[in-house]
Structure 1
Amino acid sequence: MKTVEEIKTAIETAVSGAQLEIVPNGSPSAEHSLLVDAAHAFAAAKFLRDDAELKLDFLSNVTGVDWLDKETTEKVKVTRPVEKEVNGVKTMVDETVEETKKTVTPGYLEAVYHLYSMAKKHGPVILRMRTGNRSDKVELPSLTPIWRAAEFQEREVFDLFGIIFTGHPDLRRILMWDGFKDYPMRRDYVDPDDYEYEPTAHDDVLKRAQAHLAATTTEAAQ
Structure 2
Amino acid sequence: MSEEDKDVTAESAAEKEAKAQAAAEARAARAAARAKAAESQENAESAPKPPSPKQPMLDRIVQILQQEVGPGTVEEAVINELDRHLPTLTISPFRWLETANLLKTFPGLELTYLRNVSGTDHETHLEVVYHLISLTDKQDYCFKVKADHELPQIPSVTGVWSTANWNEREIYDLLGIEFIGHPDLRRIMMSDDWVGHPLRKDYEPLDPEV
TM-score by structure 2 length? 0.68
Alignment equivalent of 1:140, drawn from 142, 154, 157: 154
Structure 1, unaligned runs of 5 or more: 69-106, 196-222
Matched, 1:159 2:173: yes
Shift of residue 30, structure 1, vs aligned partner: 2.5
Matched AA of 1:108: H
The count of aligned residue pairs is: 154
RMSD value over aligned CA atoms? Answer: 1.7
SS at match of 1:122: coil
With over 3 angstroms needed to count, the CA separation of the structure-2 counterparts of 1:28 and 1:49, relative to structure 1, is: closer
Per the alignment, residue 46 of structure 2 pairs with none
Q: Map of 1:1-222 to 2, 5 A cutoff?
A: 3-20=57-74, 21-27=76-82, 29-68=84-123, 107-118=124-135, 120-131=136-147, 133-135=148-150, 137-191=151-205, 192-195=207-210
Determine the C-alpha separation between the residues in 2 that align with 1:50 and 1:18.
Answer: 21
Shift of residue 28, structure 1, vs aligned partner: 5.2
Larger-Rg structure: 2
Q: Deviations over 1:122-144 (max 9, x none)?
A: 1321111111x211x21110011
Structure number with greater CO (CA < 8 Å, separation at least 6) is 1
Per the alignment, residue 205 of structure 1 pairs with none
Determine the C-alpha separation between the residues in 1 that align with 2:146 and 2:200.
Answer: 15
Determine the C-alpha separation between the residues in 2 that align with 1:14 and 1:138.
Answer: 26
More helix by share: 2
TM-score by structure 1 length? 0.65
Of 26-35 and 6-15, the range deviating more from structure 2: 26-35
Answer yes or no: is the 8 Å Cα contact 2:130–2:143 preserved in 1: yes
Determine the C-alpha separation between the residues in 2 that align with 1:110 and 1:117.
Answer: 23
Matched AA of 2:149: R
Answer yes or no: is the 8 Å Cα contact 1:109–1:134 preserved in 2: yes
Determine the C-alpha separation between the residues in 1 that align with 2:67 and 2:181.
Answer: 25
Structure 2, unaligned runs of 5 or more: 1-53
Answer yes or no: is the 8 Å Cα contact 1:113–1:126 preserved in 2: yes
SS at match of 2:154: strand
Matched AA of 1:180: W
Determine the C-alpha separation between the residues in 1 that align with 2:103 and 2:178.
Answer: 23
More strand by share: 1
Shift of residue 182, structure 1, vs aligned partner: 1.2
Provide runs of 4+ in structure 1 moved above 6 Å: none
With over 3 angstroms needed to count, the CA separation of the structure-2 counterparts of 1:52 and 1:170, relative to structure 1, is: same
Shift of residue 5, structure 1, vs aligned partner: 1.9
Counting aligned pairs with the same residue, the percent is 32
With over 3 angstroms needed to count, the CA separation of the structure-2 counterparts of 1:108 and 1:59, relative to structure 1, is: same
